[in-house]
A and B are shown apart, each in its own frame.
Chain A
Amino acid sequence: MRVGPKLEQNAVRAVLLLFTAITVFILLFIVVFILRKGLPVVDLSFLSQNPVDMGRAGGIFSTIVGTLVLTAVAVVIAAPFGIGTAIFLTEYTWENRVTRIIRFGADCLAGIPSIIFGLFGFILFVTKLRFGWSILSGGLTLAFMILPTIIRTSEEAIRAVPASYRQVSFSLGSTRWQMVTRVVLPAAVPGIVTGVILSVGRSIGETAAVIFTAGSALHIPTSVFSSSRTMAVHFYILAREGISMSNAYGTAAVLVISILIINVITYYLMERFIRKYS
Chain B
Amino acid sequence: MNRLERNERLVRLALLAIAFSAVSVLAVITAFIFMEGTPIMFKYGFKSFLAGMDWYPTEKSFGLLPMVAGSLMVTLGALVIGVPLGLACAVFLTEFSSKRTRRIVKPVIELLAGIPSVVYGFMGVVILVPFIRESLGGPGLSVLAASIILGIMILPTIISISVDSLLAVPVAYREGSIAMGATRWQTTKMVLFPAARSGIVASIILGMGRAVGETMAVIMVAGNAATIPGSVLAPVRTLTSNIALEMGYASGEHREALFATGVILFIIIMVLNTIANATSSRRKA
Contact = CB atoms under 8 A, between A and B. Distances in A.
- The main secondary structure of chain A at its interface with chain B is helix
Contact of A123 (B4, B7, B32, B159): B32
Interface string B15-44: 110111111011011001100100000000
A160 B71 CA distance: 41
A211 B248 CA distance: 9
Contacts of A92: 12, 15-16
Contact of A30 (B109, B115, B214): B115
A115 B183 contact: no
A117 B266 CA distance: 11
Contacts of B97: 20
A20 B117 CA distance: 22
A133 to B, nearest CB: 11
A205 B127 CA distance: 21
A113 B247 contact: no
A264 B88 contact: no
Interface in A122-163: 122-124, 144, 147-148, 151
A107 B277 contact: yes
A81 B89 CA distance: 37
B107 A267 contact: yes
Contacts of B195: none
Contacts of A264: 111
Given A109-B26, A175-B8, A260-B111, A23 B155 contact: yes
Interface residues of A, number: 82
Contacts of A232: 116, 118
Interface residues of B, number: 84
Interface stretch (A42-50, A52-60, A185-193, A233-241): A233-241
B240 A30 contact: no
- The main secondary structure of chain B at its interface with chain A is helix
Interface in B77-101: 84-86, 88-89, 91-93, 96-97
B269 to A, nearest CB: 6
11 contacts: A16-B96, A17-B96, A27-B109, A30-B123, A88-B19, A107-B277, A109-B25, A114-B213, A147-B22, A205-B115, A236-B118
Given A12-B185, A102-B23, A267-B107, 20 more contacts: A5-B185, A9-B186, A27-B156, A106-B23, A111-B213, A112-B26, A113-B212, A114-B215, A116-B33, A116-B266, A119-B259, A120-B28, A123-B36, A124-B32, A177-B7, A236-B216, A259-B114, A259-B116, A262-B114, A267-B111
Interface of A: 5-6, 8-9, 12-13, 15-17, 19-20, 22-24, 26-28, 30-31, 33-34, 80-81, 84-85, 87-89, 92, 98, 101-102, 104-109, 111-120, 122-124, 144, 147-148, 151, 175-177, 201-202, 204-208, 211-212, 232, 235-236, 239-240, 248, 252, 255-256, 259-260, 262-264, 267
- The 4 nearest A-B residue pairs measured at CB: A113-B213, A205-B116, A105-B23, A19-B88
Interface of B: 4, 7-8, 11-12, 14-16, 18-23, 25-26, 28-29, 32-33, 36, 84-86, 88-89, 91-93, 96-97, 105, 107-112, 114-123, 125, 127, 152, 155-156, 159, 182-186, 206, 209, 212-216, 219-220, 240, 243-244, 247-248, 258-259, 262, 265-266, 269-270, 272-273, 276-277
